[in-house]
Amino acid sequence: MLDPNQIKKIVEKFRKVEAPAEKKRKEVFYYDVSTLQGKKEKIYLSILDRLFFFKNIANRLSNLNFLREFDFLLYSARIPYSLEQYLAISLLLSFGLALFIFFISFLLLTLVGSGTAFISVFSILLAIFTFFATFIFSVKFPESILFKRAAEIEKDLPLALRGMASELKAGLGLFRVLRNLSALGYGTLSEEFSRTVREVEEGLSIEDALENMIDRNRSEKLKRAIKYITRALRTGSKLSDAIKQIADEIMFEERISIREFSEKINFISILYVFVAIVIPVFVAILAGLRTAPLRIGTSETLFSLIPFTLPLTTLFFVIVMPSILLIMLFLIKRISPR
Protein backbone atom coordinates (compact mmCIF):
# COMPACT_ATOMS: atom_id res chain seq x y z
CA MET A 1 0.00 0.00 0.00
CA LEU A 2 1.38 3.40 -0.97
CA ASP A 3 2.15 6.02 1.62
CA PRO A 4 -0.36 8.99 1.41
CA ASN A 5 2.54 11.47 1.60
CA GLN A 6 4.19 9.80 -1.35
CA ILE A 7 0.94 9.98 -3.35
CA LYS A 8 0.66 13.68 -2.49
CA LYS A 9 4.22 14.34 -3.72
CA ILE A 10 3.48 12.56 -7.03
CA VAL A 11 0.29 14.60 -7.57
CA GLU A 12 2.12 17.88 -6.81
CA LYS A 13 4.84 16.92 -9.25
CA PHE A 14 2.33 16.34 -12.06
CA ARG A 15 0.56 19.62 -11.24
CA LYS A 16 3.86 21.44 -11.57
CA VAL A 17 4.59 19.80 -14.93
CA GLU A 18 1.11 20.65 -16.23
CA ALA A 19 1.23 24.28 -15.06
CA PRO A 20 1.12 27.03 -17.72
CA ALA A 21 4.47 27.88 -19.27
CA GLU A 22 4.43 31.53 -18.17
CA LYS A 23 3.78 30.62 -14.53
CA LYS A 24 6.53 28.02 -14.54
CA ARG A 25 8.99 30.47 -16.07
CA LYS A 26 8.41 32.89 -13.22
CA GLU A 27 8.88 30.16 -10.60
CA VAL A 28 12.20 29.13 -12.11
CA PHE A 29 13.24 32.75 -12.60
CA TYR A 30 12.81 33.72 -8.95
CA TYR A 31 14.42 30.50 -7.81
CA ASP A 32 17.46 31.24 -9.94
CA VAL A 33 17.78 34.80 -8.62
CA SER A 34 17.81 33.53 -5.06
CA THR A 35 20.58 31.06 -5.85
CA LEU A 36 22.75 33.86 -7.25
CA GLN A 37 22.83 35.73 -3.95
CA GLY A 38 25.79 34.69 -1.83
CA LYS A 39 26.76 35.68 1.71
CA LYS A 40 28.57 38.83 0.56
CA GLU A 41 25.52 40.11 -1.36
CA LYS A 42 23.23 39.35 1.60
CA ILE A 43 25.45 41.49 3.85
CA TYR A 44 25.13 44.39 1.39
CA LEU A 45 21.36 43.93 1.22
CA SER A 46 21.03 43.91 5.01
CA ILE A 47 22.87 47.26 5.13
CA LEU A 48 20.76 48.59 2.25
CA ASP A 49 17.49 47.62 3.95
CA ARG A 50 18.32 50.09 6.72
CA LEU A 51 18.56 52.98 4.23
CA PHE A 52 14.80 53.50 4.24
CA PHE A 53 14.90 56.71 2.18
CA PHE A 54 16.55 55.13 -0.90
CA LYS A 55 14.55 51.93 -0.51
CA ASN A 56 11.27 53.87 -0.47
CA ILE A 57 12.15 55.82 -3.63
CA ALA A 58 13.26 52.59 -5.34
CA ASN A 59 9.91 50.96 -4.54
CA ARG A 60 8.10 53.90 -6.15
CA LEU A 61 10.35 53.84 -9.24
CA SER A 62 9.85 50.09 -9.69
CA ASN A 63 6.17 50.73 -10.52
CA LEU A 64 7.04 52.82 -13.59
CA ASN A 65 6.07 51.25 -16.93
CA PHE A 66 9.52 51.39 -18.55
CA LEU A 67 11.05 49.48 -15.61
CA ARG A 68 8.56 46.62 -15.45
CA GLU A 69 10.77 44.29 -17.51
CA PHE A 70 13.92 45.40 -15.69
CA ASP A 71 13.69 42.58 -13.13
CA PHE A 72 14.05 39.97 -15.88
CA LEU A 73 16.86 42.06 -17.41
CA LEU A 74 18.81 41.82 -14.14
CA TYR A 75 18.23 38.08 -14.07
CA SER A 76 19.40 37.73 -17.68
CA ALA A 77 22.60 39.68 -16.92
CA ARG A 78 23.23 37.52 -13.81
CA ILE A 79 23.06 40.53 -11.48
CA PRO A 80 22.03 39.05 -8.09
CA TYR A 81 19.57 41.75 -7.02
CA SER A 82 15.86 42.35 -7.37
CA LEU A 83 14.56 45.45 -9.15
CA GLU A 84 14.01 47.39 -5.91
CA GLN A 85 17.42 46.46 -4.53
CA TYR A 86 19.26 47.43 -7.72
CA LEU A 87 17.43 50.76 -7.99
CA ALA A 88 18.19 51.56 -4.35
CA ILE A 89 21.89 50.80 -4.88
CA SER A 90 21.90 52.93 -8.05
CA LEU A 91 20.27 55.85 -6.23
CA LEU A 92 22.76 55.57 -3.37
CA LEU A 93 25.77 55.55 -5.73
CA SER A 94 24.35 58.42 -7.81
CA PHE A 95 23.71 60.53 -4.73
CA GLY A 96 27.17 59.80 -3.28
CA LEU A 97 28.97 60.65 -6.53
CA ALA A 98 26.90 63.83 -7.01
CA LEU A 99 27.74 64.93 -3.48
CA PHE A 100 31.44 64.27 -4.10
CA ILE A 101 31.40 66.25 -7.38
CA PHE A 102 29.61 69.13 -5.65
CA PHE A 103 32.26 69.47 -2.93
CA ILE A 104 35.18 69.07 -5.37
CA SER A 105 33.83 71.67 -7.84
CA PHE A 106 32.93 74.05 -5.00
CA LEU A 107 36.45 73.74 -3.54
CA LEU A 108 38.26 74.17 -6.88
CA LEU A 109 36.19 77.19 -7.94
CA THR A 110 36.70 78.78 -4.52
CA LEU A 111 40.48 78.38 -4.88
CA VAL A 112 40.34 79.93 -8.36
CA GLY A 113 38.50 82.91 -6.88
CA SER A 114 35.18 83.01 -8.74
CA GLY A 115 32.10 84.74 -7.35
CA THR A 116 30.16 83.02 -4.57
CA ALA A 117 26.87 83.00 -6.48
CA PHE A 118 28.49 81.53 -9.59
CA ILE A 119 30.29 78.86 -7.53
CA SER A 120 27.09 77.77 -5.78
CA VAL A 121 24.94 77.65 -8.92
CA PHE A 122 27.58 75.92 -11.05
CA SER A 123 28.36 73.32 -8.35
CA ILE A 124 24.67 72.52 -7.82
CA LEU A 125 23.99 72.17 -11.55
CA LEU A 126 27.06 69.96 -12.00
CA ALA A 127 25.96 67.77 -9.06
CA ILE A 128 22.43 67.41 -10.51
CA PHE A 129 23.87 66.48 -13.91
CA THR A 130 26.20 63.92 -12.26
CA PHE A 131 23.31 62.38 -10.32
CA PHE A 132 21.10 61.84 -13.37
CA ALA A 133 23.99 60.76 -15.61
CA THR A 134 25.13 58.15 -13.06
CA PHE A 135 21.61 56.86 -12.52
CA ILE A 136 20.92 56.56 -16.27
CA PHE A 137 24.24 54.76 -16.72
CA SER A 138 23.35 52.30 -13.94
CA VAL A 139 19.97 51.63 -15.58
CA LYS A 140 21.66 50.96 -18.93
CA PHE A 141 24.46 48.91 -17.38
CA PRO A 142 22.65 45.50 -17.40
CA GLU A 143 21.91 45.96 -21.10
CA SER A 144 25.62 46.51 -21.82
CA ILE A 145 26.43 43.33 -19.89
CA LEU A 146 23.95 41.41 -22.06
CA PHE A 147 25.57 42.65 -25.28
CA LYS A 148 28.99 41.72 -23.92
CA ARG A 149 27.70 38.25 -23.06
CA ALA A 150 26.20 38.01 -26.56
CA ALA A 151 29.62 38.65 -28.12
CA GLU A 152 31.16 35.95 -25.91
CA ILE A 153 28.38 33.51 -26.83
CA GLU A 154 28.74 34.08 -30.58
CA LYS A 155 32.47 33.45 -30.36
CA ASP A 156 31.92 29.83 -29.22
CA LEU A 157 28.55 29.15 -30.83
CA PRO A 158 29.62 27.48 -34.14
CA LEU A 159 31.88 24.92 -32.39
CA ALA A 160 29.22 24.22 -29.76
CA LEU A 161 26.57 23.64 -32.44
CA ARG A 162 28.85 21.29 -34.34
CA GLY A 163 29.44 19.38 -31.11
CA MET A 164 25.68 19.20 -30.53
CA ALA A 165 25.10 17.86 -34.04
CA SER A 166 27.79 15.19 -33.60
CA GLU A 167 26.39 13.99 -30.24
CA LEU A 168 22.81 13.93 -31.52
CA LYS A 169 23.91 11.98 -34.58
CA ALA A 170 25.60 9.50 -32.22
CA GLY A 171 22.21 8.79 -30.62
CA LEU A 172 22.24 10.94 -27.47
CA GLY A 173 19.06 12.73 -26.40
CA LEU A 174 18.76 16.51 -26.54
CA PHE A 175 18.67 16.96 -22.75
CA ARG A 176 21.80 14.82 -22.37
CA VAL A 177 23.53 16.89 -25.06
CA LEU A 178 22.58 20.16 -23.35
CA ARG A 179 23.91 18.84 -20.05
CA ASN A 180 27.20 17.82 -21.70
CA LEU A 181 27.59 21.26 -23.30
CA SER A 182 26.95 22.96 -19.96
CA ALA A 183 29.94 21.09 -18.51
CA LEU A 184 32.31 21.95 -21.37
CA GLY A 185 34.55 25.00 -21.55
CA TYR A 186 32.41 27.25 -23.75
CA GLY A 187 32.41 30.06 -21.18
CA THR A 188 29.26 32.17 -21.22
CA LEU A 189 27.53 29.78 -23.63
CA SER A 190 28.08 26.90 -21.20
CA GLU A 191 26.58 29.05 -18.44
CA GLU A 192 23.45 29.60 -20.52
CA PHE A 193 23.13 25.89 -21.26
CA SER A 194 23.56 25.21 -17.56
CA ARG A 195 20.69 27.57 -16.73
CA THR A 196 18.53 25.86 -19.37
CA VAL A 197 19.31 22.42 -17.92
CA ARG A 198 18.45 23.64 -14.42
CA GLU A 199 15.10 25.01 -15.65
CA VAL A 200 14.25 21.65 -17.25
CA GLU A 201 15.13 19.89 -14.01
CA GLU A 202 12.81 22.33 -12.18
CA GLY A 203 9.84 21.25 -14.31
CA LEU A 204 9.93 23.17 -17.60
CA SER A 205 9.75 21.37 -20.93
CA ILE A 206 12.85 21.62 -23.14
CA GLU A 207 10.97 23.85 -25.61
CA ASP A 208 9.96 26.34 -22.90
CA ALA A 209 13.47 26.34 -21.38
CA LEU A 210 14.94 27.08 -24.81
CA GLU A 211 12.38 29.88 -25.27
CA ASN A 212 13.59 31.34 -21.95
CA MET A 213 17.12 31.15 -23.32
CA ILE A 214 16.01 33.29 -26.27
CA ASP A 215 14.29 35.83 -23.99
CA ARG A 216 17.31 36.43 -21.75
CA ASN A 217 19.95 36.78 -24.46
CA ARG A 218 20.81 39.47 -27.02
CA SER A 219 22.70 37.22 -29.44
CA GLU A 220 20.83 37.12 -32.76
CA LYS A 221 22.81 34.08 -33.90
CA LEU A 222 21.93 32.14 -30.74
CA LYS A 223 18.26 33.09 -31.13
CA ARG A 224 18.29 31.85 -34.71
CA ALA A 225 19.93 28.58 -33.68
CA ILE A 226 17.44 27.99 -30.85
CA LYS A 227 14.52 28.71 -33.22
CA TYR A 228 15.92 26.11 -35.62
CA ILE A 229 16.06 23.59 -32.77
CA THR A 230 12.54 24.30 -31.46
CA ARG A 231 11.11 24.20 -34.99
CA ALA A 232 12.78 20.83 -35.57
CA LEU A 233 11.37 19.53 -32.28
CA ARG A 234 7.82 20.60 -33.20
CA THR A 235 7.91 19.32 -36.77
CA GLY A 236 9.77 16.10 -36.00
CA SER A 237 12.68 16.91 -38.33
CA LYS A 238 16.08 15.34 -37.87
CA LEU A 239 17.62 17.53 -35.17
CA SER A 240 21.28 16.82 -35.94
CA ASP A 241 20.88 17.93 -39.57
CA ALA A 242 19.08 21.15 -38.56
CA ILE A 243 21.80 22.06 -36.03
CA LYS A 244 24.60 21.27 -38.48
CA GLN A 245 22.91 23.49 -41.08
CA ILE A 246 22.67 26.48 -38.77
CA ALA A 247 26.29 25.94 -37.62
CA ASP A 248 27.46 26.00 -41.25
CA GLU A 249 25.44 29.17 -41.91
CA ILE A 250 26.94 30.98 -38.91
CA MET A 251 30.50 29.99 -39.86
CA PHE A 252 29.89 31.17 -43.44
CA GLU A 253 28.60 34.53 -42.14
CA GLU A 254 31.69 34.90 -39.96
CA ARG A 255 34.00 34.29 -42.92
CA ILE A 256 32.11 36.93 -44.93
CA SER A 257 32.33 39.46 -42.08
CA ILE A 258 36.08 38.85 -41.71
CA ARG A 259 36.58 39.39 -45.45
CA GLU A 260 34.58 42.64 -45.37
CA PHE A 261 36.51 43.85 -42.33
CA SER A 262 39.86 43.20 -44.04
CA GLU A 263 38.72 45.38 -46.97
CA LYS A 264 37.62 48.21 -44.65
CA ILE A 265 40.75 48.09 -42.50
CA ASN A 266 43.00 48.93 -45.47
CA PHE A 267 41.30 52.33 -45.91
CA ILE A 268 41.10 52.90 -42.13
CA SER A 269 44.83 52.20 -41.70
CA ILE A 270 45.70 54.89 -44.31
CA LEU A 271 43.36 57.35 -42.57
CA TYR A 272 44.81 56.47 -39.17
CA VAL A 273 48.39 57.10 -40.37
CA PHE A 274 47.32 60.45 -41.83
CA VAL A 275 45.62 61.52 -38.58
CA ALA A 276 48.27 60.16 -36.23
CA ILE A 277 51.39 61.33 -38.11
CA VAL A 278 50.73 63.86 -40.87
CA ILE A 279 48.37 66.20 -38.99
CA PRO A 280 50.53 66.44 -35.80
CA VAL A 281 53.65 67.17 -37.91
CA PHE A 282 51.76 69.83 -39.87
CA VAL A 283 50.47 71.49 -36.65
CA ALA A 284 53.98 71.36 -35.12
CA ILE A 285 55.44 73.10 -38.22
CA LEU A 286 52.76 75.82 -38.05
CA ALA A 287 53.39 76.30 -34.32
CA GLY A 288 57.12 76.61 -35.01
CA LEU A 289 56.56 79.19 -37.71
CA ARG A 290 54.21 81.10 -35.37
CA THR A 291 57.06 81.59 -32.89
CA ALA A 292 59.78 82.19 -35.50
CA PRO A 293 61.60 85.55 -34.96
CA LEU A 294 60.81 86.88 -38.45
CA ARG A 295 59.25 90.34 -38.31
CA ILE A 296 57.42 92.68 -40.63
CA GLY A 297 58.79 96.11 -39.80
CA THR A 298 59.18 96.47 -36.04
CA SER A 299 55.83 95.32 -34.60
CA GLU A 300 54.48 91.97 -35.79
CA THR A 301 56.22 88.73 -36.67
CA LEU A 302 55.87 87.40 -40.20
CA PHE A 303 53.63 84.47 -39.17
CA SER A 304 51.68 86.13 -36.35
CA LEU A 305 48.35 85.39 -38.06
CA ILE A 306 48.83 81.64 -37.58
CA PRO A 307 46.43 80.72 -34.70
CA PHE A 308 48.64 78.01 -33.11
CA THR A 309 49.88 79.80 -30.02
CA LEU A 310 51.69 77.83 -27.31
CA PRO A 311 48.54 77.24 -25.16
CA LEU A 312 46.47 76.23 -28.19
CA THR A 313 49.18 73.90 -29.49
CA THR A 314 49.51 72.28 -26.05
CA LEU A 315 45.72 71.80 -25.92
CA PHE A 316 45.79 70.23 -29.38
CA PHE A 317 48.49 67.66 -28.53
CA VAL A 318 47.31 66.89 -24.99
CA ILE A 319 43.52 66.70 -25.50
CA VAL A 320 42.41 66.93 -29.15
CA MET A 321 44.80 64.42 -30.74
CA PRO A 322 44.44 61.71 -28.06
CA SER A 323 40.64 62.11 -28.24
CA ILE A 324 40.61 61.72 -32.03
CA LEU A 325 42.85 58.63 -31.88
CA LEU A 326 40.74 57.05 -29.13
CA ILE A 327 37.57 57.64 -31.15
CA MET A 328 39.15 56.02 -34.19
CA LEU A 329 40.28 53.00 -32.16
CA PHE A 330 36.78 52.70 -30.73
CA LEU A 331 35.26 52.76 -34.22
CA ILE A 332 37.73 50.12 -35.43
CA LYS A 333 36.76 47.92 -32.49
CA ARG A 334 33.06 48.45 -33.22
CA ILE A 335 33.28 47.35 -36.85
CA SER A 336 35.63 44.43 -36.15
CA PRO A 337 34.01 40.97 -36.42
CA ARG A 338 33.14 39.38 -33.08
Mean predicted confidence (pLDDT) in 53-77: 76
What's residue 29's pLDDT? 43
Helix, strand, coil percent values for the chain (each to nearest 5): 80, 0, 20
Concatenated DSSP letters of 63-85: TSGGGTTHHHHHHHTT--S-HHH
As a whole number of angstroms, the distance between CA 287 and CA 306 comes to 8
For residues 39 and 225, the model is more confident at 225
| pLDDT tens digits, 271-324 | 888 888 888 888 888 888 777 666 555 455 556 667 777 778 888 888 888 888
Indicate left, alpha or beta for 217 from its phi (over 0: left) and psi (-120 to 50: alpha). beta
Global confidence as pTM: 0.64
List CB contacts of 127: < 8 A, sequence separation 6 or more.
98, 99, 101, 102, 105
What's residue 23's pLDDT? 39
As a whole number of angstroms, the distance between CA 102 and CA 107 comes to 9
Q: Residue 75: pLDDT above 60?
A: yes
As a whole number of angstroms, the distance between CA 47 and CA 278 comes to 56
How does DSSP classify residue 115?
-
What's residue 98's pLDDT? 92
As a whole number of angstroms, the distance between CA 111 and CA 224 comes to 60
What's residue 113's pLDDT? 65
Name the burial class of residue 320, with classes exposed (0-12), middle (13-18) and buried (19+) by CB atoms within 10 angstroms of its CB.
Answer: middle
CA nearest to 77, candidates 226, 224, 217 = 217
Q: Residue 55: pLDDT above 90?
A: no
Q: Check if the beta carbon of residue 169 is closer than 8 Å to that of residue 247.
A: no
Mean predicted confidence (pLDDT) in 49-55: 61
